[in-house]
Amino acid sequence: MLDRPFRVLFLCTGNSARSIMAESLLKHWGAGRFVAHSAGSFPRGAVHPLALELLGRLRMPTAGLRSKSWDEFAAPGAPTLDFVFTVCDQAAGEVCPVWPGQPMTAHWGMPDPAAAVGSDVQRMLTFRTAFNELERRLRIFTSLPIASLDRIRLKQELDSIGRSSNESTAA
């Protein structure tokens, strides 16, 4: 058992929407058991305004959220990571840096709400759909008995969370 919270990194190419929302959600649902981070392979340099607006409306943590490079988490002195989750297909296909701590990884890909087109209402609905899916996944993740699962079983559980994409929200 760790004597510190689990450290989690969410990756996406632009680090402006999905990974940012996942970071905020884990800060909320992690209840001190997790330290959440997010980063991108090619960060946009700013958090998408609709992501911030939605998080604010839902009273989710937004302090400290910023679009940043994954290089920050591979550099000397970077925090040791326990988990790294890719939330976009493009980042999952890229060659990632070597992460400190040999973290467990899983791909939880989902459509990019930042790419949504249409009216403001339609675009916000796309962000809300992504948020709901990330929240579902993170509630499952935070409920796992991580300390009592061996690495093989834990990896199976993490992969299963990503494969269950939108099954509960499609109905």
CATH number at residue 57: 3.40.50.2300
The answer to whether residue 50 sits within a structural domain is: yes
Q: Is residue 170 part of a domain?
A: no
- Is 4 catalytic? The answer is no
pTM, rounded to two decimals: 0.91
Domain that holds residue 118: 6-163
Residue 121 lies in a domain: yes
Cβ atoms of residues 30 and 5 within 8 Å:
yes
**Burial of 64 by CB count in 10 Å (0-12 exposed, 13-18 middle, 19+ buried)?**
exposed
Active-site residue identified among 54, 55, 81, 88: 88
Q: What is the pLDDT of residue 97?
A: 78
Q: Residues 18-44: pLDDT tens digits? A: 999 999 999 999 988 999 999 999 999
Q: How many domains does the chain have?
A: 1
Residue 27 among the catalytic residues: no
Among candidate residues 61, 62, 74, 96, the one labeled active-site is 96
* pLDDT score of 166: 47
Residue 79 is assigned to a structural domain of this protein: yes
* Domain presence at residue 130: yes
Residue 12 falls in the annotated catalytic set: yes
Is residue 45 assigned to a domain?
Answer: yes
15 domain-assigned:
yes
Which residues of the chain fall short of a pLDDT of 70?
1-2, 90-95, 165-171
Q: Within 10 A of 100 (CB to CB), how many other CB atoms are there?
A: 16
